[in-house]
Amino acid sequence: MKAFNSTLAGFGTTVFEVMSRLAMQHKTINLGQGFPDEEGPAPMLQALDDATRQFPNQYPPMMGVPELRQAVAAHDGRFYDLEADWQTEVMVCSGATEALAASILALVEPGDDVVLFEPLYDSYLPMVKRAGGNPRLVRLEPPDWRIPWDELEAAFSDKTKCILFNTPMNPTGKVFSHDELTTLGDLLEKFDCYAICDEVYEHLVFDGRDHIPLITLPGMRERCIRIASAGKTFSMTGWKVGYITAAPALLSIIARAHQFLVFTTPPNLQRAVAYGLDQEQEWYTQLGRDLQAKRDLLEKGLRSIGFDVLPCHSTYFMNVDFRPLGFNEGDVEFCRYLTVEAGVTVVPVSALYASDDIDHLVRFCFCKRDEVLNAAIECLSTHFAERTA
């Protein structure tokens, strides 16, 4: 029989699913895939119930229900002074994943170059390649995940259509600074490119840092697609409600892709998220502070065991180098070993690189109850104390 699509056949199942299945199989503490173990605001669950009963459960408008598009525009104005017209500049998607896919399909033509930073979120590369784009990968340098500016500039050319840019960044926990954004913006202008900006962790920022959307910088309003997600803002990762803010011309071409991908997103979920954005601001601004405390707890525990912990200023994730513990195999082997022998599951960071020449880092997820984080630290301490005894 004829072969299936070769790009997709080449990628396999995502690392998050693979590690969660392994965690279930071995009944471990799962600090791999990024999802909180506490629910979001209870009034949003009530709002969801109410919306399910009081409004039609039929196709909502393709661009999203007006309540949510208005709430997104108001949110962007409140937090970033970003004025957006909800009718022409805001669209609801089925999670940031769909927003990213629709944006890539809307911009990328076969043969276009797309610039991406490594390490990178797992859906970026397959979707860029499936759209026919040529990925131009630029590696950020640990431990601070610095941008190598010369390399970045060399990655741009007349063939570059866009950059796919994630701040705050998964898996690095980096929040890009105003200076970095300004220099990046200069490159976009110089090479006449767009930016697909994945900002799903916008409210999960620590240490007094500020998330700055690239779209708010001078000259960037017509070039940037800002993508955010209720999954992260409200700890409801299963809801899969995302939203895009972009200039009318950009949004209308993204809407063409969206209409053929999913057409729309469940209306009751949209209404509950609209309620949350308007009414639960206190909750989602507190979430960053709560997560910062969890980061501190896990970091202290992992350091005391002997891991080399890399800086983390945002998201759900912390990266560690396990070599100081005397483990000399790669990160995939280390993750399997931790699952089977220590009862804790994490993610190999090499899965978030295109090549496998970086294999000494693993990613821990800390959006879990303190007792779960403490139990994981306890399992690891006991295991490594015995191993080195």
**245 binds, options ligand GLN, ligand PMP, none, Cβ within 5 to 8 A by partner type:** none
Rounded-to-integer distance, Cα 120 and Cα 138, Å:
10
> Closer to ligand GLN at the Cβ: 160 or 170?
170
Q: Which does 95 bind (CB under 5 to 8 A by kind): ligand GLN, ligand PMP, none?
A: ligand PMP
Please give the structure tokens belonging to residue 95: 């999670």
Measured CA to CA in angstroms, residue 244 lies from 103, 231, 291 at distances of: 9, 14, 25
Do 222 and 250 contact (CB within 8 A), yes or no?
Answer: yes
Q: CB-wise, 47 or 320, nearer to ligand GLN?
A: 320
**Between residues 47 and 298, which has the closer beta carbon with respect to ligand GLN?**
298
Choice between 95 and 267, CB closer to ligand PMP: 95
The window from 18-26, 95-103, 290-298, 359-367 that contacts ligand PMP (CB under 6 A) reads 95-103
Position 139: which residue type?
R
Q: Which residue is nearest to ligand PMP (CB)?
A: 95
Measured from the CB atom, the residue of 138 and 342 that comes closer to ligand PMP is: 138
Residue window 153-172: x/- pattern of binding to ligand GLN, with contact defined by CB under 6 A: -----------------x--
How many helices (H) and strands (E) would you count in the chain?
A: 15, 13
In the 8-state DSSP scheme, what is residue 262?
A: T
Buried b (16+ CB within 10 A) or exposed e, 295-319: bebbbebbeebbbbbbebbbbbbbb
Binding mask 6-35 for ligand GLN (x = CB under 6 A): --------x-x----------------xx-
Binding partner selected for residue 327 from ligand GLN, ligand PMP, none, CB under the kind-specific 5 to 8 Å limit: none
Contacted by 33, from ligand PMP, ligand GLN, none: CB < 5 to 8 Å by type = ligand GLN
> Rounded CA gap, 236 and 161, in Å?
33
User: Taking Cα atoms as reference points, which of 328, 333, 367, 337 lies closest to residue 350?
Assistant: 333
Contacts of 149 (CB under 8 A, 6+ apart): 183
Interface mask (CB under 6 A) for ligand PMP, residues 212-251, using x and -?
-----------------x-x-----x--x-x---------
Smallest separation, CB 33 to ligand GLN (Å): 5
d(CA 229, CA 93): 9
The item of ligand GLN, ligand PMP, none sharing an interface with residue 16, based on CB under 5 to 8 Å by kind, is: ligand GLN
Q: How far is the CB of 16 from ligand GLN (least distance, A)?
A: 3
Q: What would the x/- binding string for ligand PMP be over residues 144 to 183, using CB under 6 A? A: ----------------------x---x-------------
Angle (nearest 5°) at CA 100 between 207 and 195: 70
CB of residue 239 to ligand GLN, shortest distance in Å: 13
Please state the closest distance from residue 227 (CB atom) to ligand PMP, in A.
Answer: 8
Binders of ligand PMP: how many residues, by CB under 6 A? Answer: 14
Q: Which does 166 bind (CB under 5 to 8 A by kind): ligand PMP, ligand GLN, none?
A: ligand PMP
CA distance 267 to 270: 5
Question: Which residues is 344 bridged to in the sheet?
Answer: 29
The nearer residue to ligand GLN, 14 or 216, going by C-beta atoms, is 14
Q: Which of 36, 41, 60, 95 binds ligand PMP (CB under 6 A)?
A: 95
Write the DSSP assignment of 2-26 as a string of letters. ----HHHHTT-S-HHHHHHHHHHHH
Residue 197 and residue 227: Cα distance in Å, rounded?
6
Residues that bind ligand GLN (CB under 6 A): 14, 16, 33-34, 170
Residues at the contact surface with ligand PMP, assessed by CB under 6 A: 34, 95-97, 121, 166, 170, 198, 200, 229, 231, 237, 240, 242
